[in-house]
A and B are shown apart, each in its own frame.
Chain A
Amino acid sequence: MNLDDLVSTNGEWLRGSGPEADIVISSRIRLARNLADFPFISKTTESDRAEIERILHSQIQAIQEAGKAPGDALYLNVTDLAEVDRQFLVERQLISREHAESDGARSVVIDTDERYSVMINEEDHLRIQVMHSGLDLEAALQRINMLDDLIEEQVNYAFSDKLGYLTACPTNVGTGLRVSVMLHLPALVITRQIEKVFKSLQKINLAVRGLYGEGSQATGDFYQISNQVTLGQTEEGLAKKVADVVPVLISYERQAREFLIHESQETLHDRVSRAFGILRTAQTISSEETLHLLSSVRMGINLGLIGDLPIPTINKLLIHTQPAHLQKLSGNELDAADRNIERATYLRQHLNVDGTSDPSNN
């Protein structure tokens, strides 16, 4: 298996079948860890980073080879990857933007079913992340603990009894745990209640981010809710805090959808149908417009306004229509204008599957 094999597959977390998967896209947990006998990344030399990479990579490989971690793993040396491949991994959420863009020796170990990935030399020496489809934090926490324990048997993590796991940024110290749930909240956006929701989340110390994490804009009504605090609470307690608030958000979103169906069904149906129409016929389309329209269509499917289109197909299109994915899928380097044409073609092919031919060809 190599990186190119990932192109045509679909991550486990996009299968759209976990609990509450109509609204909750995925549950993710990550742990930040550092080796005790090396400085944090900002104070490492090039040779330190190479050494850290070598140590962690070989330990993780040993765990894999002993069959202790689930599934097959793919090891990628991020430093050597072409820019489009790094961007591809970011779009797939297997590495962070920071990991893609930083310097020096760094790598990632990816479960080929995309249930976990381990970044070496990101902001911390080690970033373990686990992702599940739907709302499934308990299972995700269990899996990440297992991976953490396996690695910890082999290395010495920087840890203090008072402050817990020591991290490069004090915002992660303690558990090093970030729990995040990605939600699709189109009706709360349409009814303009989303700001209120964000403000109340902030009051209870939860962060709201866009599709691609820290600093990214919320696009296409997709939002990530995560904990800010990492110290002074147990891992279970932190996960529970997020897990407790998500059902409330789900019920708000469902109420807003209900409201739209009752109060302005024609407007809603029109919006969804137009979105679907554009996606099925456009000849050139930007990635931003695609996200917005796919968001409407996704809600339309969940409300029964569009039949016969599975949610996993939409989840897949959300990812596969992004710039690096399109270039990997087509096998060509494409500029923005060509990508927009390629994207429209890809969408037409995948959304006109009900036996009718591509309407734009008629």
Chain B
Amino acid sequence: MKCQRCERPATFHITDLVDGEPNELHLCEECAQTYLTPTEEEAAEVMPAMAGLLAQHLAVGESADDLKRLDQRACPVCGITFLEFRKQGRLGCPHDYTFFAEELEPLLMNIHDDTQHIGKSPKCGAAGADQQTQIIRLRREMKEAVATESYERASELRDEIRALEEQFRKDNG
């Protein structure tokens, strides 16, 4: 049997359902591939990449100036700027959800159609989130102190971190 679209032999036999009616097609491998492969547009529709989705949603409703100002804001705990987040689609620390709350809200609404968690929660509760955030910040400051050879400051920070960690263990123990 010859391919219905060219002169080569038909090796693919495709049954298409058109409005519930079977429609048989006999194609060679190459024509079958063209026929069966979704166009780029279709493929993009089928598998929306999360990152692409994110970038789209973020651009909604922001003027260029707004976006520029917003992009420069940096989280005091981990140091990530909103621009960095927009580029990589990943946040830097748990505190970002608080620090960028306003910016993230429309994004969350777009992705999840909701902004309030109603699922499972840790049995010990979410107590001490501020303390833990503080530990992340102090560790970063300590690292910076070491980098600038401010060893005295670094050792103070280390003691502070240890005290917090100790207290945290007691609170949760």
Do A and B pair up? The answer is: yes
Could you say which of A42, A43, A175, A263 contacts B117, with CB atoms under 8 Å apart? A175
- What residues of B have a CB within 8 angstroms of the CB of A195 in the complex? 38, 42, 46
Given A43-B93, A229-B112: A234 in contact with B15 (beta carbons within 8 A) = no
- What residues of A have a CB within 8 angstroms of the CB of B42 in the complex? 195
CB pair A164 B90 closer than 8 Å: no
Does B113 make an interface contact (CB < 8 A)?
A: yes
Interface string of A131-155 (1 = CB under 8 A from B): 0000000000000010011001100
Tell me the smallest distance from the CB of A23 to a CB of chain B, in Å. 19
CB pair B15 A157 closer than 8 Å: no
Given A168-B90, A170-B54: A215 in contact with B49 (beta carbons within 8 A) = yes
Provide a sorted-by-A list of 15 A–B residue pairs whose CB atoms are within 8 angstroms. A36-B132, A38-B136, A42-B80, A123-B90, A152-B124, A160-B97, A191-B17, A192-B16, A214-B49, A232-B114, A233-B114, A234-B120, A259-B22, A264-B13, A267-B15
Does A177 make an interface contact (CB < 8 A)?
A: yes
- What residues of A have a CB within 8 angstroms of the CB of B92 in the complex? 39-40, 42-43
- What residues of A have a CB within 8 angstroms of the CB of B97 in the complex? 160, 163, 166, 173
In addition to A163-B115, A173-B97, 17 A-B residue pairs with Cβ atoms within 8 Å of each other are: A36-B94, A36-B132, A43-B79, A43-B92, A152-B124, A159-B129, A160-B117, A160-B126, A164-B121, A169-B89, A169-B90, A170-B104, A170-B111, A171-B54, A171-B111, A174-B112, A229-B113
Does B64 make an interface contact (CB < 8 A)?
A: no
Interface string of A169-201 (1 = CB under 8 A from B): 111011101000000000000111101001100
By secondary structure, the B interface counts as mixed
Interface string of B69-95 (1 = CB under 8 A from A): 000000001111000000011111110
Does B107 make an interface contact (CB < 8 A)?
A: yes
Query: Which size bracket describes the interface of B in this complex?
Result: 35 or more
Our count of residue pairs bridging A and B at CB distance below 8 angstroms stands at: 181
* Chain B, 145-165, CB within 8 A of any chain A CB: 165
Interface string of B101-134 (1 = CB under 8 A from A): 0001001100111111111111110101100110
Query: Which size bracket describes the interface of A in this complex?
Result: 35 or more
Tell me the smallest distance from the CB of A18 to a CB of chain B, in Å. 25
Given A171-B54, A173-B108: A164 in contact with B17 (beta carbons within 8 A) = no
CB pair B116 A232 closer than 8 Å: yes
Does A202 make an interface contact (CB < 8 A)?
A: yes
A264 vs B133: C-alpha distance when bound (angstroms) = 64
Does A228 make an interface contact (CB < 8 A)?
A: yes
Does B135 make an interface contact (CB < 8 A)?
A: yes
Given A36-B129, A232-B116: A192 in contact with B50 (beta carbons within 8 A) = no
Max count, chain B CB within 10 A of own CB: residue among A166, A190, A199: A166
* Closest Cβ neighbor of A236 among chain B residues: B119
CB pair A174 B117 closer than 8 Å: yes
Given A42-B90, A173-B97, A229-B113: A161 in contact with B121 (beta carbons within 8 A) = yes
